[in-house]
Structure 1
Amino acid sequence: MADLVSLVRADHDFDFWLNAMDQVMGLAITDLDGVITYVNPKFSAMCGYPAAELVGRSHRVLNSGFHPPAFFRDMHTTIRSGSVWSGTIRDRARNGRTFWVATTILPQLDREGRIYGFVSCRFDITREIEAGETMRRLARVDPLLGVLNRLGLREHIEAGACKEPGGSADCALVLLDLDNFKSVNDNFGHQAGDRLLQEVAARLSMVLHVGDVLSRFGGDEFALVVGHSLERCDIEHFLADLTSVIEVPIEIGITQVIMSASIGFTFLDGGASNAETLIGHADLALREAKRAGGRTIRRVTPELLQDARRRSNLILDARQGLGRAEFEVFYQPIFDLARHECVSMEALIRWRHPLLGLIGPAVFTDVLRNFELVSAIGRFVRREMIQALGAWRRSGVFSGRIAINLTVADFKTTSLTRELLHLLHEQGLDAGCIILEVTETMFLDQKDNVVRAELARLAHEGFEIAFDDFGTGFASLTHLKELPLSRLKIDRSFIADLENGGCDRDIVGGIIDIAHRLGMKVVAEGIETTMQLEILRAMSCDYAQGFLLASPVCGCDVPSELERGRLTLRAIALEKKAQEAGTAAGKDGGSANFAHITAA
């Protein structure tokens, strides 16, 4: 400021500098008591008061009532101590409108350093403030439906809006998910999907009570805070009526679509410490409703919360378990039914949990739904099994191939092929040693083209691709044509009832026939009885896997389990030969007796 004054004095062109300031900022000067003695034209333009109506009055004439008294006490304390004060003030103009100014107040000092007045420099930042408010509002509103989004509803709940006077402590947070909404987008396009969402939102708004709030969390998921005009016992009846409203046919172009909804809810006094926890509770109930098949209403229960905590703890244990080497790779031999030899083994993950003991994937399925964890587990299994295969080949224990299950998480990057080739190179092995098993669920993701592209690269490098759990999906035959497959694995659910004949036996026979016609080999998994094995052998099934022949075992027990499988197959073959020989002998004896009687 002193440099500016020196510059002005040196230039002697005061009018120029005053005009420059008038163009940029509002300027007001007051005496020690805060009485205005001067305002420049810019200041008057900001507030709408001419200078004559301001001079002789204090700044209180502009007070909008927005700031509390403490705000101004702090300001006066600062400037009366001789310090500069800076801040943002919301003032009221002569016509009643409010506006925002970025303000700096400087004390005026005489030669002895005594304060004799104050200079206020102001910049109008109303547009900036309003633009920020608009951005803040838009960040909390769904652009398609104009209702609160997740952030907006979270802040609404955190503000305790449902507990306002006249509100009910029995308010419920409801999450509503439209069943099969994806099919509308797929069949009619996203514009039709948007139209459907708008219609559903309009219907929901019509049945909500005063004080209830509608929100959209994204996609086809809505959230509602309801119950201001309802008793707790009436909430479920209200939600049932809500689903009925949604199920009224909706016109999409020249056709009609009938939607249904899955609903999960929790009461706002259900013990959640914050809005996100509350939303998490309602989401647990929603997932339970969807697991029940959709078109269902579920309330969060202590059992659901306990199960969620158990899953959360298990995921935490798994993260720590990876670092503590608690995970192991087990191997289950797969036998060639014609040669009675083990030709491959499937690598299977096991977890030696410090409290639960040795557990398989069926116990920690929630861990395998966690993208980060399943990716890390996949890398661990691939590294361990390839190292084990290298050691077995060098020692002569096992010269076959290893099969491994892949997940969608393994394809989220394009480095899977490179990773496998690097691990094989370290052990002096080639891609033909590895069988990669995929399932149909991997191709239901919107980015299944990434999976297909990586599978093509893997097949090009010489990896064998197998289709696991074949027969349990809806589009498996299409995949036989489109994917680079060389073998099929028949799901164990079809093997279990082979002995009873019926459609399962026909299905298995049909799968084997189709696979052979397409040049593929077939693996039957889940074989537990000799009769199942013999039926599959009669159907010309190529490979067999199951507890009848060999169990999944750790790497150190592989040699003994291989031998057990070979001995079991040979014993079954010898028993069959003995039975066939006995049958033949019985037939020969019967013919001789018949001839003897005839001759007599």
Structure 2
Amino acid sequence: MSPYQSMDSAGKSRFLADEYALVAEPLLTRIQTETGAAALCLHVLAKGMGLAQGWHLSQGDPALRPPLETTSRPAPAGITRLALGEDPAHPLAVLSLPAGLPAPPARSLRALTRLTEGFCLRWALEEDLLHSRRRIRRLEHLARRDPLTGLLGRSAFQALLQQRIGAGETGPFALVMLEIEGFRATSTLYGPAFADLYLRTLASALRRSLPVDALTARLGGDAFVFAVPMPSPAARCLEVMLGRIRSAILRATARLGRPGLGRVRMGAALWPDHAQGLSRLCDLATRSLQARRDSGQPGYCLHSPGTPAPPDPRQLRHHLPQALARQEIVPFFQPIYDLQSGRRRGYEALARWEHPDLGRLMPSRFATLFEDHRHASRLTLTLARHALNEVSERCWKQGDAASVGLNLTIFDLHSPEIVFDLQTLVCDCNASWSDIIIEVTETVMMGARHGPVFRTLEELRRRGARIALDDFGTGYGSLRHLGGWPVDILKLDRGFIARMDSSPTDAGVVRALVRLARDTGLEIVAEGIETPAQLVALREMGCHLGQGYLFHPALPGPEIARAPACGFDLGALCG
């Protein structure tokens, strides 16, 4: 970089004046000799050089030097001014000399004009080059950065991290993939402007909670990645750091004033312990994130050798139309039992993908398809039709009044056609609305009361369907949804049930929620019952209904007869 490029306007003026004077002063001396002038002054105008002000070159009497701002006015008495340049109205420079002297020779004026034009052109090119370099640096910066959050982009992140690894500039580090739970639903409910604010807030909290030598990038959508140096023991240090990051994100997003924000999942892998190649390390971190997604809970998962490889979402999305046509995506049925009598009351329909190459995929493996508005409604209606047909054929036609729970997404409930689509299915399958339970999560119900979600649920309930609030107790707005929202059933999140045996606090929460349901006239279903001790405790609390592996895993349609209406001898089951 030349000294000129780092100067301000005043510095540029001085620099140009010095260089110009070296070659212009001999010409001025010659003109002074040719005209016999005792003194003369050349005023180089700022406009020619693109500067804030011009400058003077004087030979002899300084009285000929006019103020810079007056060079465009008529010359005072006793002074002659000659404009240099093609346009006398907009000259590059003005030559001032005493009046009454012979005019300078044309060749000398041409030489002085050419010299001035050459300098103007040279410095105009310098300025253009300088601005071009600045624009290139700015474009390079924008290409490397995510325009919304200011974090690195995918390519820049990979290039910088690979450079650090290749140059031996990094010690052991953790590569962490991060995603926001329920981001698509939040974006749908509150709009793209709020979604952008949410992403910026989370990115800012993430950046502040990481050390200065960490690399952080946004991969797109709600996906982020960061590489952070890890001291030994890495696993313990990583656990502490990720806990701090989660807390920082929750605190920052809480200020946005919306419920349910800041819940993130993370998957991590360590370099060089788990992999030495960057591509392999990214794959392992992605597997860990998928494993955390499969758990259905926020938090983080560190790679272990047994973590399965996740299916590629792009390939799943590409094969979805064929899968639907071949009926590869089908409902499985989780039986729901009365915890007092032991009778089977109904089923919850759960999606399974019988993939020809990958085997049976659980919903978490293709959950992104339900979060994509282009596919969500089609998937929901396909599963609903299969579920109603199976239950109609194997239960209702046999006189078994089993209920069936259908899970709806935020996109379904925002669609004005969903009620009519379901009405068509009810008629086609000879079903009754009273046999259908519409299951929605608290995330789906985060919208305003009397908004589109509320109106859709209210209409479904008016037709006879019952509304179940799924995963109750995990969101920020649980109790708010009981006041005025169309809710008939509460489904306790399996996390509370799993920790009942070891955590008196969770057991107390379950007891309080069962009492709350009883006092408000709602049915309550405990999800994820897996041990006799959990069943005994729930029965003692007065919980109405339950489902889980203790009774039956989810069954394919042809096998739902394995869960007969007469149910279980709960005394024997409790041991």
Q: Structure 2 length as normaliser, TM-score? A: 0.50
CA separation of 1:309/1:171 partners in 2, compared to 1, >3 Å: closer, same or farther?
Answer: farther
Q: 2:366: which partner in 1? A: 367
Q: 1:150: which partner in 2? A: 153
Indicate if the aligned counterparts of 1:397 and 1:559 stay in contact, CA closer than 8 A. Answer: no
Matched, 1:488 2:478: no
Q: 2:122: which partner in 1? A: 94
Indicate if the aligned counterparts of 2:335 and 2:552 stay in contact, CA closer than 8 A. Answer: yes
Q: 1:514: which partner in 2? A: 516
Paired amino acid for 1:150: G
User: Given the alignment, which residue of 347, 350, 353 partners 1:348?
Assistant: 350
Residue range with higher mean Cα deviation, 508-517 or 525-534:
525-534
Write the mapping of 1:217-296 to structure 2, written as runs, cut at 5 A. 270-272=276-278
SS class of match (1:462): coil
Q: CA deviation at 1:454?
A: 3.9
Percent identity between the aligned chains? 25
Paired amino acid for 2:367: L
Indicate if the aligned counterparts of 1:488 and 1:521 stay in contact, CA closer than 8 A. Answer: yes
Write the mapping of 1:40-439 to structure 2, written as runs, cut at 5 A. 93-95=121-123, 97-98=125-126, 137-138=141-142, 140-141=144-145, 149-150=152-153, 153-154=156-157, 157=160, 168=168, 170=170, 208=213, 270-272=276-278, 303=305, 307-309=308-310, 315=316, 319=320, 321-334=323-336, 342-354=344-356, 359=360, 361=362, 365-370=364-369, 371-372=371-372, 377-391=379-393, 395-408=397-410, 410-411=412-413, 413-439=415-441
Indicate if the aligned counterparts of 2:287 and 2:310 stay in contact, CA closer than 8 A. Answer: no
Paired amino acid for 1:385: A
Distance (whole Å) between structure 2 residues aligned to residue 235 and residue 498 of structure 1: 32
Distance (whole Å) between structure 2 residues aligned to residue 318 and residue 551 of structure 1: 27
Q: CA deviation at 1:480?
A: 2.3
Q: CA deviation at 1:540?
A: 5.6
Q: CA deviation at 1:518?
A: 1.4
Distance (whole Å) between structure 2 residues aligned to residue 294 and residue 493 of structure 1: 11
Q: CA deviation at 1:384?
A: 0.9
Q: CA deviation at 1:434?
A: 1.2
Indicate if the aligned counterparts of 2:344 and 2:566 stay in contact, CA closer than 8 A. Answer: no
SS class of match (1:97): helix
Which stretches in structure 2 are left out of the alignment for 5+ residues?
1-84, 94-107, 183-195, 256-261
CA separation of 1:194/1:492 partners in 2, compared to 1, >3 Å: closer, same or farther?
Answer: closer
Q: 1:459: which partner in 2? A: 461
Q: Whose relative contact order is higher, 1 or 2, with alpha carbons under 8 Å and at least 6 apart?
A: 2
Q: Deviations over 1:495-545 (max 9, x none)?
A: 679999988776655444432321222345566789987876776654455
CA separation of 1:157/1:384 partners in 2, compared to 1, >3 Å: closer, same or farther?
Answer: same
Q: CA deviation at 1:374?
A: 6.3
Q: CA deviation at 1:379?
A: 3.0
SS class of match (1:398): coil
CA separation of 1:405/1:558 partners in 2, compared to 1, >3 Å: closer, same or farther?
Answer: same
Q: 1:114: which partner in 2? A: none
Indicate if the aligned counterparts of 1:468 and 1:488 stay in contact, CA closer than 8 A. Answer: yes
Residue range with higher mean Cα deviation, 505-514 or 376-385:
505-514
Distance (whole Å) between structure 1 residues aligned to residue 227 and residue 495 of structure 2: 44
Indicate if the aligned counterparts of 2:267 and 2:287 stay in contact, CA closer than 8 A. Answer: no
Distance (whole Å) between structure 1 residues aligned to residue 508 and residue 241 of structure 2: 42
Indicate if the aligned counterparts of 2:174 and 2:227 stay in contact, CA closer than 8 A. Answer: yes
CA separation of 1:444/1:140 partners in 2, compared to 1, >3 Å: closer, same or farther?
Answer: farther
Query: Alpha carbon RMSD of aligned pairs, Å?
Result: 6.7
Paired amino acid for 1:368: A
Paired amino acid for 1:97: L
SS class of match (1:325): coil
Q: CA deviation at 1:435?
A: 0.3
Which stretches in structure 1 are left out of the alignment for 5+ residues?
1-39, 63-91, 101-124, 183-189, 576-600
Indicate if the aligned counterparts of 2:175 and 2:226 stay in contact, CA closer than 8 A. Answer: yes
Q: 1:5: which partner in 2? A: none
Distance (whole Å) between structure 2 residues aligned to residue 523 and residue 467 of structure 1: 10
Distance (whole Å) between structure 1 residues aligned to residue 385 and residue 366 of structure 2: 20
Indicate if the aligned counterparts of 2:331 and 2:352 stay in contact, CA closer than 8 A. Answer: yes
CA separation of 1:267/1:450 partners in 2, compared to 1, >3 Å: closer, same or farther?
Answer: farther
Q: CA deviation at 1:485?
A: 0.9
User: Given the alignment, which residue of 471, 476, 479 partners 1:477?
Assistant: 479
Q: CA deviation at 1:464?
A: 0.9
Indicate if the aligned counterparts of 1:171 and 1:226 stay in contact, CA closer than 8 A. Answer: no
CA separation of 1:140/1:425 partners in 2, compared to 1, >3 Å: closer, same or farther?
Answer: same
Paired amino acid for 2:442: E
Paired amino acid for 1:466: A
Q: Structure 1 length as normaliser, TM-score? A: 0.49
Q: Deviations over 1:46-96 (max 9, x none)?
A: x99x9978xx9xxxx99xxxxxxxxxxxxxxxxxxxxxxxxxxxxx94226
Indicate if the aligned counterparts of 1:550 and 1:564 stay in contact, CA closer than 8 A. Answer: no
Q: Deviations over 1:190-226 (max 9, x none)?
A: 9999899879869979x55xxx977777999987789
Q: CA deviation at 1:416?
A: 3.2
Q: Deviations over 1:351-403 (max 9, x none)?
A: 4455776x573xx5232344347665433211212233454687344344321
Indicate if the aligned counterparts of 1:410 and 1:416 stay in contact, CA closer than 8 A. Answer: yes
Equivalent residues, number: 428
CA separation of 1:278/1:391 partners in 2, compared to 1, >3 Å: closer, same or farther?
Answer: closer
Q: CA deviation at 1:556?
A: 3.6
Q: 1:104: which partner in 2? A: none
Distance (whole Å) between structure 1 residues aligned to residue 146 and residue 175 of structure 2: 16
Paired amino acid for 1:462: G
